[in-house]
Chain A
Amino acid sequence: MSAAVEHTESATEASHDAHGHEHGHDGHVPKDSYFIKIAIILAVVTALETSTYWWPESLSGVATPALLIMMAIKFFMIVSIFMHLKFDSKVFSFMFYTGLGLAIFVYLVFLFTFQFFRT
């Protein structure tokens, strides 16, 4: 994997790891081709999501959990790779995931209060 790494600034100071990115004094900078691969994966997942629209009625029970899983995969891929959260300080992750966690908690309580999940 370290072959798929490019140096953006200080080539001599950078050290490579096994995730297609480098440790330089300016942080981790994955190569363009790494992001293109991620974008292809995201496009394939989006195509799979869209395909559920034409799935037969008998598969409707599977479609919703599959869609939620694919949504979560896309969400975390964009946030951790495109937004560099995976490569940046954990403080940034804390800031974002605290807001996200709070939002999920508050609005799940809201939906339960209004009996959204009642069958």
Chain B
Amino acid sequence: MADIAVHDVDHAHTDHGGYDDHAPHATSTGLTNNKLSMWLFLGSECLLFGGLISTYMLYRGRHQTGPGPDQIFDIPLTSVSSFILLMSSLTMVLAVNSAKRKDDRNTSLWLTITALLGALFVGGQVYEFTSFYHEGLGFTTSLFGSSFYTLTGFHGVHVTLGIIMLMVVVFIMQRDRITGDKAEVVELVGLYWHFVDVVWVIIFTLVYLIPS
């Protein structure tokens, strides 16, 4: 009875990112559990970053004891960083497409380029933090400083984790140690990477561009 139900659902979902009739691990929803849990995780991440962004918005004007956003932000530099992260989303999506074509060589290439662009972004953030520190904005200087470093720092940690994930995928792909669907593994890492990019789209506008 249960088998019939699963079989019917599979037919209904083959065109929506789920399994086809010959999939090795069909689920009752017809969707892959890995992808479903990744989307659920990303939905919960919205709450984390929502909290950090709204806390920053609340405290961005509280900088009586140190420099404020208008005095320290370097918009041209941050714009270049944003552009780099945006382009890493393109290279990531090209990696996913290559993986779907079962083109391992190009998949590894695009994943490596994505990781390098991510590393450039993180390097820019380290440079920015260092220059802000030298201009007198420490983590405990003001509520603005604390909320700014917490928000952008958390994002930077997410990007760094993404780079590690990308490099691990490249490493295990080259050693042919992915036992399941390679394209799905690359797609899952891609979803995480795009999410990190989309969070930066919000941070770039709300934190850097909209004046306090």
By a beta-carbon cutoff of 8 Å, the part of chain A in contact with chain B is 8-9, 23, 25-30, 32, 35-36, 38-39, 42-43, 46, 49-50, 52-53, 60, 63-64, 67-68, 70-71, 74-75, 78-79, 82-84, 87-92, 95-100, 102-104, 106-107, 110-111, 114, 116
**Count of A-B contacts with CB under 8 A?**
149
For residue A91, which residues in chain B have a CB less than 8 angstroms away from its CB? 29, 31, 36
Q: Are A39 and B86 in contact (CB under 8 A)?
A: yes
How many residues on chain B are close to A (CB under 8 Å)? Answer: 57
Bound state CA distance, A111 and B183, in angstroms? 41
Q: Are B15 and A28 in contact (CB under 8 A)?
A: yes
A-B contact pairs, 28 of them (CB 8 A): A8-B100, A9-B101, A29-B100, A36-B90, A39-B86, A39-B89, A43-B83, A50-B79, A60-B211, A64-B211, A71-B206, A78-B197, A83-B191, A83-B194, A91-B29, A91-B31, A92-B17, A98-B43, A100-B43, A103-B46, A103-B49, A103-B50, A107-B51, A111-B54, A111-B58, A114-B58, A116-B57, A116-B58
By a beta-carbon cutoff of 8 Å, the part of chain B in contact with chain A is 13-18, 20, 29-31, 35-36, 39-40, 42-47, 49-51, 53-54, 57-58, 75-76, 79, 82-83, 86-87, 89-90, 92-94, 97, 100-101, 187, 190-191, 194-195, 197-198, 201-202, 204-206, 209-211
